[in-house]
Amino acid sequence: MTNRDIEDVVDTSDEWIVQRTGIRQRYVAGEGETTSSLGEAAARAALDNAGLTPADIDLIICATSTPDNTFPATAVNIQNRLGMSHGFAFDVQAVCTGFVYAVTTADAYIRGGLAKRVLVIGAETFSRILDWNDRTTCVLFGDGAGAIVLEASEGEGKTSDRGVLTAHLRSDGSHKDKLFVDGGPSSTGTVGKLRMEGREVFKYAVGMITDVITAAFEATGTTSDDLDWLVPHQANRRIIDGSAKKLNIAPEKVVVTVDLHGNTSAASIPLALAVAAGDGRIKKGDLVMLEAMGGGFTWGAVLLRW
Ligand code: ACO
């Protein structure tokens, strides 16, 4: 759905959307598509890319705020769609920071010896929780899914190791009313619609993002010069550019796909990884920073070697 298509839905313009957000188009799930059907497709693509099959996976973590059902977990639906009845699966819900939380969780399960190969999926159908009469929110979001496979391997505890090097997660529920869904099983008994005070979210975003990225650099003794790629949550071009500038990360090291996908919440980072690894930019051994900030607020950064 292009910005021009949205002009037929609400009083907006391609120019306003591009200038304020960098978004040019987004994808909207079709009839019969669900978060788990998108997640299954992403999971199969990741498994093919890794030369693995569902039989090789012992844990599935799906980051989503738009589950197929209140329960069971979408990860369990994806497990079933993949024909798996071994291993275990669960969802992680941290809104736009969901994928960063899920990668951190997968890494902890691997380090703790509870899993050897983990399929980490970010999958969303935000189109289903948007108020399509509210131009301040409906122009910003889209649907999609992406996935990666994490595998246990011996490291030396150095920054030259591959995999997750450090993770820094934060949340602060006092900001709940700035970005939330106005329904839920235990409050209204309805699904609800997304509500956001965009200007308020913007005010906090750059500071929160730069804090966790700085923490990741400090924990590993690395700097922005060592970084090969910043793969940010794709909410808004101005937030991405502002954060990179504040951290002295060169624009050519920043992966930007918000123009293609809009804000796909927990799916945005794995979608950006799929684009940048797929076109050959991100290569084996590259130092990659993932970061996100979203509803809650939640925010976090993961530094990893690809
Ligand atoms: N089309 C045209 N005009 C619009 C639209 C629209 N879609 N939406 C709002 N406007 C109007 C407003 O009504 C207002 O008009 P007024 O001045 O006559 O009152 C004017 O545009 C300016 O509105 P603001 O809300 O001040 O616009 P702003 O420059 O702050 O941009 C935006 C809005 C893009 C939402 C910005 O605040 C933002 O990016 N916030 C961050 C929110 C975000 O990205 N959230 C994603 C989820 S959280 C996360 O993932 C980090």
How far apart are the C-alpha atoms of 22 and 79, rounded to whole Å? 35
CA-wise closest residue to 42 among 148, 116, 151, 150: 148
Q: Two tokens at 171?
A: 């949340």
Determine whether the shortest distance from the Cβ of 293 to ligand 1 is under 6 A: yes
How far apart are the C-alpha atoms of 169 and 37, rounded to whole Å? 28
Q: What is the pLDDT of residue 173?
A: 98
Q: What is the pLDDT of residue 12?
A: 98
Of 19, 20, 139, the one to substitute when testing ligand 1's pocket (max ligand atoms within 8 A of C-beta) is 20
CA-wise closest residue to 6 among 140, 125, 128: 140
What is the whole-number distance in angstroms between the Cα of residue 199 and the centre of ligand 1? Answer: 7
Name the stretches of the chain with pLDDT < 70: none
- Given a contact cutoff of 8 angstroms between Cβ atoms, the answer to whether 211 and 193 are in contact is no
Q: Is 265 exposed, middle or buried (0-12, 13-18, 19+ CB in 10 A)?
A: buried
Q: Whose CA is nearest to atom 1 of ligand 1?
A: 12
How much of the chain, in percent, has pLDDT values that exceed 70?
100
Tokens 């039989």, located at residue: 55
Q: Two tokens at 119?
A: 């399929």
Determine whether the shortest distance from the Cβ of 236 to ligand 1 is under 6 A: yes
Catalytic residues: 96, 233, 263
Q: What is the pLDDT of residue 123?
A: 99
Domain 3-151 has CATH 3.40.50.300: no
Determine whether the shortest distance from the Cβ of 12 to ligand 1 is under 6 A: yes
Determine whether the shortest distance from the Cβ of 21 to ligand 1 is under 6 A: yes
The boundaries of every CATH 3.40.47.10 domain in the chain are 3-151, 163-305
pTM equals: 0.97
Q: What is the pLDDT of residue 214?
A: 98
Enter the CATH code of domain 163-305.
3.40.47.10
